[in-house]
Structure 1
């Protein structure tokens, strides 16, 4: 499968989970995703998923997802089989991607699937191109860049939609400030790995 190399044609995804760490047994309970092609939203994916374990009161309060809601949701394995089809041909993007990557890989492994795509991280990249901001949380960046939103965070599709909107602003800023008009996934992966002291030189070399 040939993956689209454009940084503006990606699947932006977000998980809600029972905890912070796959290694400690946490499972996914919701996934939301936005498919971008040339910067336009062409499809979305959203589903609660039932991992067969109970959600504690902290997670219920944090996400608004209750055990009652999950009791009628499709099993994780069924949802992930559908999502594996949804992401075919697309690279991936998430805010704090290491978190979402770990859950995606773990849930795919449960159905004997793997991802082909690379994972870009809007959190890491925002730290490189907006070094003067005091916070790079999704909600803080959305507020700083004056992106319209419905005030809903910590639900998977809403966060994926906000990350997709933020990504468009970030790419526009790269174009305006550095003349990078056709960023590739390879470029953005390189940017997110740069030490902060070398970011300006890295970006100047891409102009």
Structure 2
């Protein structure tokens, strides 16, 4: 399976860890097919309690907005249907995977795709970047942006653009026409020092 056909997702949440009782409050995702965005998914979800002033300021998602949103279990059931059969990407995927796993466990659902992290890939490919925050990398790669980071759909759209730019870099460095998902998985687990060798000999 190629790395340009998958789903890129982003959660906004009440806090940092579902293990501490934090919940998702927004999910945004884009579906890529052969490098083209073909579908979007975006929904707010009510976590069952108010969000803090910090989270409201950070995300722009207010308690008034969430009061009219569907509960988490309804939104996540729809999202589980959306992602079936696709590999998954997120920027700092360990964070998003924890919330995806936690929310789906609550409704006894799962997913059959494999997860890969665009942040880990960037650390291997963009070693001269000042840092690997999404906004920094968008500027570093010269990708146009005109929205607000820390909203789920916009972040997933920007991650998709970054992802495709990194796939283009891999194609050039490895001299290949398509980037297999398995190669991206291998790159994220390769030491920075060995990335050039892996791509040159692929």
TM over 0.5: yes
Deviation, 1:200, is 1.5
Length-normalised TM-score, structure 2: 0.97
CA RMSD between the two structures: 0.9
Match of 1:167 among 139, 144, 163: 163
Match of 2:185 among 177, 182, 189: 189
**Which range is displaced more, 23-32 or 168-177?**
168-177
Deviation, 1:167, is 0.8
Contact 2:76 2:104 in 1 (8 A): yes
**Which range is displaced more, 174-183 or 154-163?**
174-183
Partner of residue 14, structure 1: 10
Residue 63 (structure 2) pairs with residue 67 (structure 1):
yes
CA distance in 1, matches of 2:110, 2:183: 24
- Within 5 Å, give how 1:51-90 maps onto structure 2: 51-90=47-86
Deviation, 1:177, is 2.4
User: How many equivalent residue pairs?
Assistant: 202
Secondary structure of residue in 1 paired with 2:42: strand
Secondary structure of residue in 2 paired with 1:86: helix
CA distance in 2, matches of 1:86, 1:76: 15
Once superposed, which parts of structure 1, at least 4 consecutive aligned residues long, lie more than 6 Å away? none
Length-normalised TM-score, structure 1: 0.95
Deviation, 1:59, is 0.1
Q: Which runs of 5+ in 2 are unaligned?
A: none
